[in-house]
């Protein structure tokens, strides 16, 4: 019995040692795959950032260095399947011409392309279509820029209770300047945010027909249109939201051919 015991013991040790080696090799293989996966994702993100920069230049727009993030882990399985969950593109300090002679700057233009179909052959050859099921982008225009669009001295714009309010002094001959304020109505049409003021008044406003007529003209002069600049990926203006820091514009599109859009 002693001899059998002494024979089995080394075998068990060798078995445990072999198992340990196999586990170590598997862990190293997994670590290598993770590193390869992250390297592939980083490389693809850098390539996309370069393409986005080129598209901005073609549109005569500028921004800080684009930050591209390809969501979803593992990345390589998405490449093989040709189906990407989401690609996020952040453009800091995005500035672009509106087509009406002004430049509009957004601290951040945040773009999300979801359900992106990019077959492996297309990625490998550079030929073919890369299509995103939906693309959305949001950016904020501060009130200082909007006030300049009014083209009137002393105009101040701000948010109150979720609405855009504006104020400015009204000068009337023979009268002290009257500080008027009103609430704006916002509508979106054909890539333009139309801003029209109503209920313009002031405390203790004299009930004088001449003054009332001057106030009405004043409200009309406060009106302005915000022409949203051309956005990457052919995004169309969808809605606008009044926030404390400015007007947030949201643009979107469906079934966007990213290859045709220059990305």
Q: For strand 131-141 and strand 103-117, is the pairing parallel, antiparallel, or unpaired?
A: antiparallel
The residue that leads in pLDDT, 258 or 252, is 252
pLDDT at 168 over 90: no
Burial of 195 (0-12, 13-18, 19+ CB in 10 A): buried
What is the reported pTM?
0.77
**Are the CB atoms for 52 and 65 separated by under 8 Å?**
no
> By the 8 A CB rule, do 131 and 256 touch?
yes
HSE of 86, CA atoms in CB hemisphere, 13 A:
10
Task: Specify the pairing of strand 178-189 against strand 224-227.
Answer: unpaired
Q: pLDDT tens digits, residue range 15-48?
A: 555 555 555 555 555 555 555 555 566 777 777 7
201-214 confidence digits (pLDDT tens): 777 666 777 777 77
Distance between CA atoms of 236 and 138, rounded to whole angstroms?
Answer: 11
Domain boundaries, the chain: 145-227
Which parts of the chain fold into alpha helices (H)?
A: 2-58, 75-81, 120-125, 143-150, 209-222
């Amino acid at each position: 019995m002693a001899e059998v015991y002494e024979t089995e013991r080394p075998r068990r040790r060798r078995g445990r040692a072999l198992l340990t080696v196999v586990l170590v090799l598997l862990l190293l293989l997994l670590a290598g795959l993770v590193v390869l996966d992250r390297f592939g994702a980083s490389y693809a993100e850098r390539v996309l950032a370069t393409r986005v920069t080129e598209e901005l230049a073609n549109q005569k727009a500028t921004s800080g260095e684009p930050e591209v993030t390809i969501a979803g882990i593992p990345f390589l399985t998405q490449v093989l399947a040709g189906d990407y969950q989401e690609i996020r593109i952040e453009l800091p300090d995005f500035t672009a011409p509106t087509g009406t002679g002004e430049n509009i700057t957004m601290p951040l233009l945040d773009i999300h392309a979801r359900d992106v179909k990019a077959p492996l052959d297309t990625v490998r050859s550079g030929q073919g279509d890369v299509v995103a099921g939906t693309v959305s982008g949001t950016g904020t225009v501060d009130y200082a820029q909007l006030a300049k669009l009014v083209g009137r001295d002393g105009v101040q714009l701000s948010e109150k209770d979720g609405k855009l309010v504006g104020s400015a002094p009204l000068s009337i001959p023979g009268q002290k300047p009257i500080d008027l304020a009103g609430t704006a109505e916002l509508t979106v049409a054909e890539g333009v945010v139309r801003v029209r003021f109503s209920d313009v008044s002031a405390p203790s406003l004299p009930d004088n027909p001449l003054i009332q007529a001057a106030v009405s003209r004043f409200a009309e002069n406060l009106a302005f249109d915000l022409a949203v600049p051309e956005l990457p990926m052919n995004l169309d203006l969808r809605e606008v939201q009044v926030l404390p820091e400015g007007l947030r514009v949201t643009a979107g599109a469906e079934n966007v051919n990213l290859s045709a859009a220059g990305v």
